[in-house]
């Protein structure tokens, strides 16, 4: 089955074509970063309007690049949630209308399930079961994954997500929006050992996270040391956050006897996290799988792939709804 995937949960419009036999055929992405940078964060109304402008041209682009036509599409998948309600409605409306016009099924996909399954698009995908670290601007969770839709929550953040902490710390350092990637680049030029920052909940004995205290510690440090020390502060913050993510992930693997660990979400592109986690996991006989860098951020490919798995077992459904809030653990197994 050829599945068209549409992602529009926040500030990136992604469209992709995934073939259940031949794999990913084409994908295209438009980021709204330049537009939202002026406001220091995502403006939901502007995000929705931009999705409207982009989704059809991107669809035409992936069809052209893949050499396929609308008549070849056997199903349509779209991000149903979680995310910004208006942005989700754009993708859902387009996907449902197209599916109805073509006489093919449509399925709403959980945004985090898309991220969680994104490493499976790779040439060397992980086998089930595995532990997954979902780490992005809005979510930080550890899940035990036994199969598609078979997810058990092991732990999650009690306040700020890791990506959110990266962005807020970047703002404290005057790095603008989006701050996470800029902070990581700055950290590479700094001395992480100059300042000592806390590793929140690293020794808590569970798999939950907390990053708000780390962000507050950075605020205190900025006031004391000044922005002249920005590179060293960025390096110290990144080292602390990565230590927590690595420690908790490996503890979750030990708890579940997992030999495979999947890292997904925007923070999964962080080079220090990848290097430190891969090295520490290898010492314990654990193999780590990452999505390709292009699929770490929001994208249509992950939605097309997740949708292809769900369309195999989908029942006819003409309902039209989005779910701005949606618990991943409530999904049904397929």
Q: Indicate where the chain has its CATH 3.30.420.40 domain(s).
A: 2-116+295-330, 128-290
From residue 33, alpha-carbon distances to 46, 47, 52, 83, 119 in Å are 11, 10, 16, 16, 24
Instruction: Look up the CATH architecture of domain 128-290.
Output: 2-Layer Sandwich (3.30)
**CATH number attached to the domain at 2-116+295-330:** 3.30.420.40
Taking only the tens of pLDDT, the chain with its 334 residues reads 999 999 999 999 999 999 999 999 999 999 998 899 888 889 999 999 999 999 999 999 999 999 999 999 999 999 999 999 999 999 999 999 999 999 999 999 999 999 999 999 988 899 999 999 999 878 899 999 999 999 999 999 999 999 999 999 999 999 977 788 999 999 999 999 999 999 999 999 999 999 999 999 999 999 999 999 999 999 999 999 999 999 999 999 999 999 999 999 989 999 999 999 999 999 999 999 999 988 999 999 999 999 999 998 877 676 778 999 998 888 888 8
Counted residue by residue, the chain has a size of 334
> Given the DSSP bridges, would you call strands 260-264 and 287-289 parallel, antiparallel or unpaired?
parallel
Single pTM value for the model: 0.93
Task: Return left, alpha or beta for 300; rule: phi > 0 is left, psi -120 to 50 is alpha, else beta.
Answer: alpha
Our CA angle for 114, 157, 324, nearest 5°, is 45
Give the span between the Cα atoms of 114 and 3, in whole angstroms.
Answer: 14
Measured from the Cβ of residue 181, the count of other Cβ atoms closer than 10 Å reads 18
Eight-class DSSP state of 157:
B
pLDDT at 39: 85
Asked if the bond preceding 129 is cis, omega within 30° of 0, the reply is yes
Q: Give Cα separations from 198 to 31, 139, 245 (angstroms).
A: 34, 21, 13
Helices (H), the chain: 33-37, 44-66, 85-102, 111-117, 162-172, 179-187, 212-225, 230-256, 271-283, 300-311
The whole-angstrom separation of Cα 168 and Cα 315 is 43
Residue with tokens 């396929």: 68
């Amino acid at each position: 089955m050829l599945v068209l995937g549409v992602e529009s949960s926040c500030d990136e419009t992604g469209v992709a074509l995934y073939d259940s036999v031949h794999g990913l055929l084409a994908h295209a992405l438009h980021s709204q970063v330049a537009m939202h940078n002026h406001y220091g964060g995502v403006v939901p109304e502007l995000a929705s309007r931009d999705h409207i402008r982009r989704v059809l041209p991107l669809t035409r682009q992936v069809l052209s690049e893949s050499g396929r036509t609308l008549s070849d599409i056997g199903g349509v998948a779209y991000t149903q949630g979680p995310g910004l309600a208006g942005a989700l409605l754009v993708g859902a409306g387009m996907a449902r209308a197209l599916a109805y016009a073509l006489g093919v099924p449509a399925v709403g996909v959980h945004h985090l399930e898309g991220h969680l399954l994104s490493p499976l698009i790779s040439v060397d995908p992980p086998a089930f079961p595995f532990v997954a670290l979902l780490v992005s601007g809005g979510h930080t969770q550890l899940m035990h994954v036994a199969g598609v839709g078979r997810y058990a929550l092991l732990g999650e953040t009690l306040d700020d997500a890791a990506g959110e902490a990266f962005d807020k710390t970047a703002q404290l350092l005057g790095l603008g929006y989006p701050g996470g990637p800029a902070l990581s680049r700055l950290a590479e030029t700094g001395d992480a050992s100059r300042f000592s920052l806390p590793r929140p909940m690293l020794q808590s004995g569970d798999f939950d996270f907390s990053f708000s205290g780390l962000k507050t510690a950075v605020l205190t440090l900025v006031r004391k040391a000044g922005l002249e020390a920005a590179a060293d502060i960025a390096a110290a913050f990144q080292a602390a956050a990565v230590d927590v993510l690595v420690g908790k992930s490996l503890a979750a693997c030990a708890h579940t006897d997992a030999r495979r660990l999947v890292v997904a979400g925007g923070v999964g592109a962080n080079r220090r996290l990848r290097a430190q986690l891969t090295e520490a996991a290898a010492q314990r006989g654990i193999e780590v799988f990452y999505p390709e860098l292009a699929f770490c951020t929001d994208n249509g490919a992950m939605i097309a792939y997740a949708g292809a798995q769900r369309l195999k077992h989908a029942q006819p459904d003409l309902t039209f709804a989005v779910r701005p809030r949606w618990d991943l653990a409530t999904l049904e197994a397929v």
